[in-house]
């Protein structure tokens, strides 16, 4: 009789109910089963849709979180914080676009197989199959092998090489060149533009609600009166903080 440790059994039960069961249930739910059907029948429209949706969801949420955290990170110097956040934003947005573009082109299975056939197709042609068959049937081990069996084995191997080719092209062209060279190259100047826009928006809204001037001169005096206009301009200039002068100077000018 083997004694069961109550702690171990408790942990095991917890592991089963909190970790294993949810994932197993997820694997059996009807939307997942619908997905299985599409993958099984190689329904490109659905497979591509799922892939693109997952890219947008993952990178979109990631981009939002990175931008938000960067903007509120007081440890980053004030003068650089907005640029860091802007770069996160442009980088994230372009990354989503780049990944969708690459998913539709270089990382696409159909395009990859076309590229593969153009570059390496000749290595797996009829002549290759015939020659492999001729060499194999002259050996003791494969003297009874059929041409059809060789064709099938060659096709199977071709599929494996095609997959390897696909993952390598994706890795080099999409991941390294696209995501790490082209995207940062475009994202950096764009981040500068976004940063300027952010600064502009912040300056426009920097008036605190408590100190905001609620006086409307148009209600109390003649709108054509230039003096009042100048006072208003001087005041708003001072509030926005862009002018180095003070209120007294503004009045002196009037």
Q: Which 94-133 positions form the footprint of other proteins (CB under 8 A)?
A: 120, 123, 127-128, 130-133
Closest CA to 55 of 163, 179, 186, 194: 179
- Least distance between other proteins and beta carbon 59 (Å): 9
Cα→Cα distances 131→125, 142, 154, Å: 10, 14, 12
Whole-number CA gyration radius for the chain: 33
Please select the residue that binds other proteins; options are 44, 49, 73, 221, rule is CB under 8 A: 73
Nearer of residues 112 and 234 to other proteins, judged by Cβ:
112
Please select the residue that binds other proteins; options are 2, 30, 77, 144, rule is CB under 8 A: 77
10-39 residues in contact with other proteins (CB under 8 A) are 11-12, 15, 19-20, 23-24, 26-28, 32-33, 35-36, 38-39
Cα→Cα distances 136→113, 126, 142, Å: 28, 15, 6
Q: Does 198 bind other proteins (CB under 8 A)?
A: no
The per-residue b/e assignment along 50-70, b for 16 or more CB within 10 angstroms, e otherwise, is: ebeeebeeebeeebeebbeeb
Please select the residue that binds other proteins; options are 52, 76, 111, 207, rule is CB under 8 A: 76
Tokens of 179: 């995501």
Size, binding site for other proteins by CB under 8 A:
88
Give me the long-range contacts of 19-26 (CB less than 8 A, separation at least 24): none
Tokens of 222: 């003649």
Nearer of residues 127 and 209 to other proteins, judged by Cβ:
127
Instruction: Give phi and psi for 138, each to the nearest 5.
Output: -85, 0
Nearer of residues 92 and 234 to other proteins, judged by Cβ:
92
- Least distance between other proteins and beta carbon 202 (Å): 16
163-192 residues in contact with other proteins (CB under 8 A) are 163-168, 171, 175-176, 179-181, 183-189, 191-192
Q: How far is CA 144 from the centre of its chain?
A: 54
């Amino acid at each position: 009789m083997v004694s069961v440790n109550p702690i171990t059994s408790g942990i095991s039960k917890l592991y089963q109910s909190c970790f294993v069961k949810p994932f197993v249930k997820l694997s059996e739910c009807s939307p997942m089963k619908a997905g299985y059907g599409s993958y099984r029948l190689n329904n490109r429209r659905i497979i591509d849709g799922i892939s693109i949706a997952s890219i947008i969801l993952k990178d979109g949420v990631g981009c939002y979180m990175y931008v938000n955290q960067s903007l509120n990170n007081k440890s980053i110097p004030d003068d650089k914080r907005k640029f860091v956040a802007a770069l996160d934003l442009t980088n994230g947005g372009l990354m989503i676009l780049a990944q969708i573009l690459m998913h539709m082109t270089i990382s696409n299975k159909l395009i990859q197989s076309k590229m593969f056939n153009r570059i390496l197709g000749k290595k797996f042609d009829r002549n290759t199959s015939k020659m492999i068959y001729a060499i194999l049937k002259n050996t003791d081990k494969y003297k009874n092998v059929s041409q059809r069996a060789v064709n099938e084995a060659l096709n199977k191997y071709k599929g494996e090489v095609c997959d390897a080719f696909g993952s390598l092209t994706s890795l080099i062209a999409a991941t390294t060149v696209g995501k790490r060279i082209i995207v940062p190259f475009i994202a950096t100047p764009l981040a500068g533009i976004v940063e300027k826009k952010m600064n502009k928006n912040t300056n426009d809204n920097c008036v605190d609600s408590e100190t905001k001037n609620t006086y409307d001169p148009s209600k109390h005096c003649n709108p054509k009166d230039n003096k009042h206009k100048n006072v208003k301009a001087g005041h708003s200039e001072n509030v926005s903080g862009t002018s180095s002068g003070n209120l007294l100077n503004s009045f002196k000018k009037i």
